[in-house]
Amino acid sequence: MRRAYDRVSGAASSTLSTDWGEIEFVDHGSGVPVLLSHGIFGGHDNAVEMVESYVGRGFRTIGPSRFGYFGSTLPEGATPATQGDAYLDLLDHLDVDRVVVVGFSAGSPSAIQMALRQPHRLYGLILASAYLPGMASPLPTPVAPFLSMALRWQFGWWLLKTWAPVLLGRIMGVPRDWPDTSDEDLDSIRESLFPMQPKRSGVVFDTLVSEPACNRFPLEEITVPTLVVHAADDHLAPYKYAPEAAIRIPGARQVTVDSGGHLFLEHQAQVRQATAAFIEEVVGGTWLASGSFVRPSRERVS
């Protein structure tokens, strides 16, 4: 836990007061601004690492902790839409006019809402291992206290990490029978789960509110260039829903990664290639000329 808290404190974060409460965030680097809407168990603390892994170096990383994570408030009545509005407050504070938004995993509902509500503030939208319509079923509200209690028991999660890393890997979206459980990237991701207590309100919000809410999203109304990147063996956010979403989003481009699961293990380079090329198009103004708005193109990356 000391090591985990030392890592978090080393993230050099700032805090912004908004109508939604406090937002803890990092603002790192220079170049095209990329706002990362992190996944479940994520936070501002690993935003730079996530952008470098899945988008690349040479970008300005704007990494807020979402509602209920670390120092970011979980306001009463929070929704993915209000989380998207909070992102806009952060961009205004940073004097950033437009960004590329990356919605990773459970961070995708608020990223989608930002694209729906304020498309003029986005160069483009990247949905990576995203939670999409059809993936999440609503859970009964009484689950909340039990889930919160489980997240407080960090010793139990440490036991899983230490003595049952394969089981923990499955919970994190590692494919069944993944050959190398000692993978350095996977070890780093396991470590990034901790500390859990400062994330528990956000995890409960994601599970009970944010993820199920995306079932009702009007994807057909998204007007910004969109890239959907998903692994064919992702069991955590089942792949079969990704092509359906790409077809519903006008002009979306879909890239399928053959393996690597929810975390794109051993395939981060291919993901970076796809996302960096997309950003170059949408920022450079060549996206419309490519004809991508006619039908979603589907690329497969092995």
Rg (CA), the chain: 18
CATH number at residue 297: 3.40.50.1820
Average confidence (pLDDT) over 189-206: 88
Average confidence (pLDDT) over 92-103: 97
d(CA 119, CA 102): 14
- Residue 239 pLDDT greater than 50, yes or no: yes
Q: Is the dihedral of CA 107, 204, 158, 25 positive or negative?
A: positive
Average confidence (pLDDT) over 231-254: 95
pLDDT of residue 139: 60
Are 29 and 60 a contacting pair, CB within 8 Å? yes
Higher pLDDT, 146 or 273: 273
pLDDT of residue 157: 81
- Look up residue 48 and give its two tokens: 């730079």
Task: State the residue for tokens 């706002």.
Answer: 35
Expressed as residue numbers, the domain containing 95 is: 2-301
1-28 pLDDT per residue, tens? 888 888 888 888 999 999 999 999 999 9
- Look up residue 191 and give its two tokens: 């470590």
Pick the range with the lowest mean pLDDT from 183-197, 247-261, 263-277.
183-197
- Of 61, 73, 59, which Cα lies nearest the Cα of 16? 73
Tell me the C-alpha to C-alpha distance, in Å, between residue 59 and each of 29, 48, 55, 105. Answer: 6, 10, 8, 21
Average confidence (pLDDT) over 61-74: 97
122-142 pLDDT per residue, tens? 999 999 999 999 997 666 666
pLDDT of residue 293: 36
Q: Is the dihedral of CA 118, 124, 130, 133 positive or negative?
A: positive
d(CA 101, CA 123): 8
Tell me the C-alpha to C-alpha distance, in Å, between residue 122 and each of 126, 150, 185, 222, 226. Answer: 11, 37, 30, 11, 10
pTM: 0.90
- CB under 8 Å, gap of 24 or more: what pairs does 237-244 form? 237/105, 237/129, 237/130, 237/131, 237/132, 237/135, 237/173, 237/262, 238/135, 241/132, 241/133, 241/134, 241/135, 242/130, 242/132, 243/298, 244/132, 244/133, 244/134
Average confidence (pLDDT) over 279-300: 60
Total number of domains in the chain: 1
Higher pLDDT, 302 or 30: 30
